[in-house]
A and B are shown apart, each in its own frame.
Chain A
Amino acid sequence: MKFVQNIFDQTRPLVEKDGKRNILYPLHNAIETMAFVPDHTAHSGAHVRDAIDLKRTMITVIFAMVPALLFGMWNIGRLHYGAFGEESTLLDNVIYGSFKMLPLIIVTYAAGLGVEIYFSWKRNHPVNEGFLVSGLLIPMIMPVDIPLWMVAVSTIFAVLIGKEVFGGTGMNLLNPALTARAFAFFAYPTWMSGDKVWINTTSSEGAALVDGYSGATALGDLATTVGQGLGNPATETVIAQFGPEGTYSLMNAFLGLIPGSIGETSAALILLGGLFLIFKGVGSWRIMLSFFIGGFVMAAIFNAFAVNEFMGLNPLHQLMLGGFMFGMVFMATDPVSASQTATGKLIYGFLAGFFGIMIRVFNPAYPEGIMLSILFMNVMAPLIDHYVVEANVKRRTKRLANA
């Protein structure tokens, strides 16, 4: 690998302090440290170090996201061809999906890393690895048909306002990926909700949508039942879709064979990623478990006191829809914006799941209640930690008083 090292060595003078392209130094450094783990040795403290670094942590998260991402790409193609009643093979679906998905990923990384690199240069910091994950999360939580420039603007907003103004990776209050989604949701609502954006229906010549085609999501359909009361015949067709034979059956929702944000639909594969993260010790099982329980408790309460079909939905089914599972595994567990103490994580996760279902059902205009509740709990996390730490301080003060 000597020749690769040589390329870095030769180009380094250009980007170093007095070089002509100094602004590119963070980029140069980022790529070099990616290619080669640096030769830095321990100078203070312990003389040996664990092999783990932030790059390893982040790539582990990316590995965990890959199954859901691949499924999402396949699902784009499947839904597209399905809308026209066309036959398609697995390969067709994946190819079509990647034509839709790859531009989203590339635009997100380009926009986000551009901002990151500028700030790294400005602050004289190395580029942080955090955006490797955020940059893949953002396209996974977007509808397939969102214009690329909206993704770029949302990403820039998220990195700038969600992260850099607080001081960069490790200092941010909000989860950057969710900030991007929230921005897009409120800035371009017509592109982020409704029944036009979840399935790509750009038609080839002569093709027509199949009879009875609806591009809505499960949550969008459920929202129409609110205010109709339980057992209202008007909601029957909607509810039938959630039956064992319907489009949104529990099995379909679990496997992910439903419309939705690109990476969010397959609960099964997201769960697989979650188990991988827990096993690797990278994701917090406390947050995931308590998040699930929190959501389940809220859904069960709704189920018990249902006044409409949305509330009456089977609690487990409720959790398989929308962004709940994705939020649980990949969003709520962001270590920087989540609670940092063990007890705090349990409280934080529970409330995030609990409020997520509550917002979704009480305000059907916000099918993405999960996103809002996680962002809300991001803001509350320092408060939770404060009380957990304060309990420790009290214990210490008490011990002193008794000594």
Chain B
Amino acid sequence: MSQTFKIRKGHDIKLVGAAPKSDLGLITASTYAVTPLDFPGITPKLAVKAGTQVKAGDTLFFDKDRPEVKICSPVSGEIAEVKRGAKRKILAVVVLADQETTYADHGPFSFTGATREAAAAHFGATGVGAFITSRPYGVAAGMSEKPRAIFVNGVQSSPLAGDLAHQLEGKEKSIATALKALKLMTEGTVYVSHDSDKAPIEALQSLDATHLSFTGKHPKGLVGTQIAQAAPMNKGEIVWTVNAIDLPTIGAAFESGEYRPEYRVAVAGSRVMNAGYATAVQGVSLTQFLSANVNTENARIIAGDVLTGSKIENDGFLSFGQSQLTAIPEGNTTEFFGWVLPGFGKFSTNRAFWSWLFPNREYDLDTNMHGEERAFVVTGEYEKFIPMDIFPQQLLRSILIGDIEKMEQLGIYEVVPEDFALAEVACTSKLPLQEIVRNGLNDLRKEMI
């Protein structure tokens, strides 16, 4: 029934501390925060100020250039603070939560005879449109865009990723509703991807869409890989992508008109004392949870996975769109002659270290760079981790010299930073590939708009 793609290029980084299916309960806190930094490509304009009373689902800030792109409050309460950084850049909007959450009611969406415009308006009003990422550029989707296709990513293959079936359990109905809503937004195809190395997820299998199956190594779980395999993007096209884990939130907004971004969050990593799944509303303050469940001393807490997640502090908040928390040791120690030693215990994707003898070992990796930054020297390295028909190093070079035309020719429209994450891990020269790609996309977007 569905087409199966085998991903041969890539690497599964095996880390210790995977989350068992134990329940860590609900993460509660008195403060919640949303940061514009989680939304690349948005120029935030505040809709609230300190002291404003908000309900869950009321807009906190929106994109200055596309006002329909709204970021909503996950809970009800009072705006405690707008944190600002240098040049008054907005760092976070902090909400002091009510005991009992009240929801802004946008009304249930009526699917009978529904039009695209109506659905777009509902996506905008309830704030769940922010869960849709638009390619190229990898930014929050504007509702006026006409996507060629929508990809729903049902594969989670990054290191220590949660078990999607477990995370979506019990949310079947809203998943189906979300898909109906998404189908209204495109005249093209809606694709749903599946991991054929894992037990099928009924809630996704039963959806009325074009199904794609992926087997093999990470990055099979990156939607960029899936698009490249199924229907590569061309210049001028727009493709929307949605993570399957966000479907219940979207569905709920269409069923009840309420914004309920509640997730079963996988808590994993070698520094986690109690690994498992916690239930959490987005933006929740993690201070108490981390001190109770994670050994935070000299640890790196990551909202998301180790490849693409963002670093958060011990008193940080659960980032937008993240359903994984990872804690690993910081690697701020030196190592005597580490580069000459045989390296039986060192993680490496190639055989220069003798750890190749143990391909199935799980590693307790830290954040050490294992070397200084260098110029591009080694060739043919990135290609091994990017299963797309592009020349990664040539593309990166064109970005570094700011040659827009060359970037277009070499396929920058097909990639977002996360597609380069594995190559960044493997890079001998320790170059910041994801940052380079992000800058390239930003430059390109500036040029195009």
Residues of A whose CB lies within 8 Å of any CB of B are: 1, 4-5, 33-42, 44-57, 59-60, 126, 128-130, 168-171, 279-282, 284, 335-336, 338, 340-342, 345, 385, 389, 392-393, 395-397, 399-400, 403
Contacts and interface: CB of A to CB of B under 8 A. Distances in A.
B369 A49 contact: yes
Given A52-B352, A170-B377, A393-B409, A45 B370 contact: no
B330 interface: yes
Interface string B8-30: 00000101000000000000000
Contacts of A395: 389
B337 interface: yes
A56 B337 CA distance: 10
Nearest to B308: A46
Name the 7 nearest CB pairs between A and B, nearest first.
A53-B371, A170-B375, A45-B434, A37-B338, A51-B346, A36-B334, A281-B350
A338 B379 contact: yes
Given A55-B339, A57-B428, 6 more contacts: A35-B336, A37-B334, A37-B338, A45-B417, A48-B306, A393-B409
30 contacts: A35-B337, A36-B335, A38-B334, A38-B372, A39-B333, A41-B330, A41-B332, A41-B368, A44-B435, A46-B307, A46-B422, A48-B159, A48-B366, A49-B367, A49-B430, A51-B347, A52-B348, A52-B352, A52-B353, A53-B339, A54-B377, A57-B428, A169-B374, A170-B375, A336-B377, A338-B379, A345-B380, A389-B391, A392-B391, A393-B409
B40 interface: no
Contacts of A39: 331-334, 368
Interface stretch (B209-217, B230-238, B441-449): B230-238
Contacts of B372: 33, 38, 40, 53, 126
B410 interface: yes
B371 A37 contact: yes
Interface string B406-449: 00011100000100011011111110111100000000000000
Contacts of A280: 350-352
Nearest to B345: A51
B13, B351, B369 interface centre (most CB from chain A within 10 Å): B369
B330 A341 contact: no
B298 to A, nearest CB: 10
A47 B428 contact: no
B135 interface: no
Nearest to A55: B339
Given A35-B336, A39-B334, A51-B343, A282 B368 contact: no
B339 A48 contact: no
A130, A171, A385, A392 interface centre (most CB from chain B within 10 Å): A392
Contacts of A282: 350, 352
Interface string B355-380: 10000000001111111101111111
B349 interface: yes
Contact of B235 (A35, A48, A281, A400): A400
Interface string B247-270: 000000000000000000000000
Contacts of A397: 409
Nearest to B326: A47
Contacts of A338: 379
B338 to A, nearest CB: 4
A170 B435 contact: no
A386 to B, nearest CB: 10
A335 B382 CA distance: 14
Contacts of A1: 336
B174 to A, nearest CB: 32
B311 interface: yes
B43 interface: no
B370 A51 contact: yes
B164 interface: no
A76 to B, nearest CB: 28
Contact of B350 (A44, A52, A128): A52
B350 A48 contact: no
Given A41-B330, A45-B432, A57 B367 contact: no
Contact of B378 (A36, A38, A49, A57): A57
B306 A46 contact: yes
A385 to B, nearest CB: 8
B105 interface: no
A55 B393 CA distance: 20
A44 B339 contact: no
Nearest to A40: B369
Interface in B314-338: 326, 328, 330-338
Contacts of B124: none
Contact of A392 (B311, B331, B390): B390
B340 interface: yes
A51 B235 contact: no
Contacts of B353: 51-52, 56
Contacts of A126: 372, 374
Contacts of B411: 392, 396
B375 A169 contact: yes
Contacts of B394: 340, 385, 389
Contacts of B434: 44-46
Nearest to B235: A400
A380 to B, nearest CB: 16
B349 A54 contact: no
Contacts of A342: 380, 383
